[in-house]
Structure 1
Amino acid sequence: MKKLTFVILLSLTGCSNNNVVERITPPSSVIKHSAIEGYEDRYSNLYNSFEAYPATCEAQCYPPTPRITCKSQMQDCTYVGENPSLSLTTGFTIQWLGHASFKVNSPDGQQFLFDPVTAQFDWPVNWAFRLSEGYNRNLPTALSKAELQQTDAVMYSHLHYDHFNKDDVKTIGTKAQFLTPLGFAEHFPDDGYKVSEMAWYASKQLGDVTAHFVPANHFSSRIWVPFLYEDHGAALWGGWVLEHQGHTLFFAGDTGYSPHFRDIQQKYGDIDICLLPIASYHSEEHPKWYRKVHTTPEDALVAAQELGCKVMVPWGYGNASWRMGDRTSHSALFRLLKMQDTLKTATPIYILNEGDSLSL
């Protein structure tokens, strides 16, 4: 029996009739709301009060390793260690473009992009970030305009500027389908885009691939001013599970550690390929808050175990990262290798340098 999918075509405020927007919220999907600063209908994490972490690195978290060579201490580095031999036959090919951006080619010949941001933040936040932090990222590995326009579908995890860039949307063009969290479509340019807004555990068929939108433990906003809540939580956030003939690939998006990883494994079974964040967890001023919404390397290792990952591919570090909340470009990777040895986790880790590809 075919599953019924509930789709509502919408013309959203802020979007012209030029854009075709659908909202996918089947009865099996999950939406959680909470009140924030006078707003009653803001999206909320499933496990807002969760703060118990299975493992934490307490000392000597960044020891040197011959597996990473750097121009200076944990800065401007290249991973030179060996990666594990893997016998997976999923048919997926992955290219890490830097930070959270991936190109994924599916077994049926489609090209997907996760969170494509090929330069800096959208203006004026790029300008403000430069003034306040004194740092812009090095330019990451770039797909050509022709390559970008071959994209069949783009999947976004949330609205933060390092994950959603309007210039990239314009370059990709209107041929691709755009899959987003709820509340996202009004941020698209007004030029004939096809946008599918989805609730947690909603699904959309893309050729032979099923894309499932799944929970993350994070937040969403576009206003880059502290303590202004006009759009805080007005759009949802999450990750993506791609499923093709029994094989699965999981892109977590930005997330902290919480029981939602176990939930995802219980719903979809052990995951073949897990693309998990390991960076942006460090903050001397707000350590508890940062960890709540960003996995430490040890959190990611535990999550990989709970997801049943057959291989974990980490991301978030790198020479083209913004180093937001991190000590250096590669400190997170040093800590990951340290904690892999400490925890003796069984999940294989395949480490990429920016621009590298992997077929599994």
Structure 2
Amino acid sequence: MITTLIIIGLLVLAYLAFTTFYPSFGADISKEKQLTYQNSAQYKDGKFNNTKAVPKELSFKEKLDVAYYFFTTKVENGRPKEDLKVQKIDSIDVADYKGEARLVWFGHSAFLLQIDGKTILLDPMFGKVAAPHPLLGADRFNSEMPIAIEKLPFIDAVIFSHDHYDHLDYETVMKIKDKTKHFYTPLGVGEHLKAWGIPASKISELDWWQEIKFETLTLACTPAQHFSGRKLNNGQSTLWSSWVIQSKEENLFFSGDSGYAPHFKEIGNKYGPFDLALMECGQYNDKWSDIHMMPEETAQAGMDVRAKKIMPIHWGGFKLAMHDWKDPIKRVQAKAKQFNLEVITPKIGQEILVKEKKSYSNWWENL
């Protein structure tokens, strides 16, 4: 018994030391900062909450059961058999671009957006693993990026949807922070950025339904049904969101991570129709469908926000659930066809012109 207690004590001390001193875990939200969130309708009892009472608070045993299920369940075709090849883009092309609004997908939920002469990154996760340390996660599906992060030119803005590791990556932030003009986050996420050396003057934190002008663009922080946290003891300490990005000519929606809920219709009614909606579609499971949409729900959410076309995201990058890696894209295509909703499926690195009517190949079929 004494030996067991000593081992448990040492493990707890090791965890506390690791999460305290290893920088990728980010910041803990101070009591003073928490007081500033009291006016948010989402903040209650020291935590941010969804409109609907989800996700369910799991007991320690339930957390262990989910972890055991995740790490022991064998998934047929859970990841590509070979490294995904990407289309390359040139740093000069990015720096000198003056054309119509376009995006470049980096896999999962990461994008380069060029709009109104500005270069913007959405959830720029360029790291190798979606975890606080390289030994704690599996490698991403594409070992190369369309452009090396070091070769990215000046970045006007970075927009984050929430603080999970597959969206907010410490190493990526450290490489872009000195060449980025401004960062936009939901409430609390900016505290991580400040802990990593980014001045508060370069960070804007927004609550749901708040808007902010970024030069010629309007950015709106909109709801999502998800959760947050970068370690065991700080869950729901920061807010999660989707985003609306509007210029005079274009209207874009970026879903972040979300379960299917009425907020999609609310966003569509207030800000739609959208020229293009980037919609979460991947890393789902019946056990956590309240925080990650099933593919058929992704198509329905695209209809709800009144999108002219959707692009499925949150797939093609990491294995974070127990489904065939091609399952998300095939299922959402099938459901969208019933709605007569256009689905675009570019390769990683392929140029996406926001308003262009274009057919894309099913590039994953023979992989």
- What is the TM-score with the length of structure 2 in the denominator? 0.70
| Residue type at the aligned position of 2:164 | H
What aligned pairs does 1:186-265 form with structure 2 within 5 A after superposition? Answer: 186-188=191-193, 189-192=196-199, 194-223=202-231, 228=232, 230-245=233-248, 247-265=250-268
**Greater shift after overlay, 247-256 or 328-337?**
328-337
Is 1:96 equivalent to 2:105 in the alignment?
yes
1:354 aligns with one of 348, 363, 367? 348
Cα displacement (A) at 1:246: 5.4
Match of 2:336 in 1: 340
Question: CA distance change for structure 1 residues 307 and 124 in 2, over 3 Å: closer, same or farther?
Answer: closer
Partner residue in 2 for 1:69? none
1:267 CA displacement:
1.3
8 Å CA contact 1:281–1:291 kept in 2: the answer is yes
Mark the CA change 1:50 to 1:124 in structure 2 (over 3 Å): closer, same or farther.
Answer: closer
* 8 Å CA contact 1:76, 1:329 repeated in 2: no
2:199 & 2:250 partners in 1: Cα distance? 33
Does the 8 Å contact 2:282/2:295 carry over to 1?
A: yes
Deviates more, 1:331-340 or 1:41-50: 41-50
Contact 1:312 1:350 in 2 (8 A): yes
Task: For residue 113 of structure 2, give the secondary structure of its aligned residue in structure 1.
Answer: strand
The within-5 A match list for 1:79-158 is 91-106=100-115, 108-121=116-129, 124-130=132-138, 137-145=141-149, 147-158=151-162
Could you say which residue in structure 2 is the equivalent of 1:325? 321
Query: What one-letter code is carried by the residue in structure 2 that aligns with 1:171?
Result: K
Match of 1:166 in 2: 170
Does the C-alpha gap of structure 1 residues 76 and 261 become closer, same or farther in structure 2, counting only changes over 3 Å? farther
Deviations 1:64-103 (A, max 9, x none): xxxxxxxx79845989xxxxxxxxxx94201111101011
Q: Cα RMSD between the aligned structures?
A: 3.1
Q: Give the alignment's TM-score, normalised by structure 1.
A: 0.71
Superposition map of 1:3-22 within 5 A: none
Structure 1 equivalent of residue 49 of structure 2: 44
Q: What SS does the corresponding residue of 1:173 show, helix, strand or coil?
A: helix
Pair 181,50 (structure 1): closer, same or farther in 2 beyond 3 Å = closer
Q: State the 1:168 CA deviation.
A: 1.0
Q: Shift of the alpha carbon at 1:47? A: 2.5
SS in 1 for 2:191: helix
Alignment correspondent of 2:295: 297
Given that 2:55 and 2:227 are in contact with CA atoms closer than 8 Å, whether structure 1 keeps it comes out as no
- Output one character per residue of 1:45-66: Cα deviation in whole Å (capped at 9) or x when no partner: 1233699xxxxxxxxxxxxxxx
Q: Do residues 178 (structure 1) and 157 (structure 2) align?
A: no
- Which one-letter code corresponds to 2:106 in the other structure? L
Q: Once the 2 structures are TM-superposed, how far is the Cα of residue 14 of structure 1 from its aligned partner?
A: 7.0
Residue 192 of structure 1 aligns with an amino acid whose one-letter code is P
SS in 1 for 2:221: strand
Q: Distance in 2 between matches of 1:354 and 1:101?
A: 10
Q: Percent identity over the alignment?
A: 26
Structure 2: distance between partners of 1:187 and 1:159: 8
Cα separation, 2, equivalents of 1:157 and 1:76: 30
Of Structure 1 and Structure 2, which has the larger fraction of its residues in helix?
2
Contact (CA 8 Å) 2:109, 2:313: kept in 1 or not? yes
Q: Please, which of 305, 308, 317 is the counterpart of residue 307 of structure 1?
A: 305
CA pair 50-310 structure 1, distance change in 2 beyond 3 A: farther
Q: Post-superposition shift, 1:334?
A: 1.9
Does the Cα contact within 8 Å between 1:216 and 1:260 map onto a contact in 2?
yes
Q: Matched residues in 1 for 2:28 and 2:315: separation?
A: 35
Stretch deviating more after TM superposition (346-355 or 121-130): 121-130
Cα 1:149–1:31 change in 2 (3 A) is: farther
Contact 1:277/1:315 (CA < 8 Å) preserved in 2? yes
Please say if residues 104 and 113 of structure 1, whose CA atoms lie closer than 8 Å, have aligned partners that are also in contact.
yes
Match of 1:170, SS state, is: helix
**CA displacement 1:163-186 (0-9 Å, x = unmatched):** 001111111123320101111122
Higher RCO (CA-CA < 8 Å; seq separation 6+): 1
Q: Please give the secondary structure, in 2, of the residue aligned with 1:267.
A: helix
- For the Cα contact (< 8 Å) 1:279–1:326, is it kept in 2? no
- The answer to whether the 8 Å contact 1:211/1:240 transfers is yes
Counterpart of 2:197 in structure 1: which amino acid?
D
Classify 1:358/1:234 alpha carbon distance in 2 versus 1 (closer, same or farther; 3 Å). Answer: same
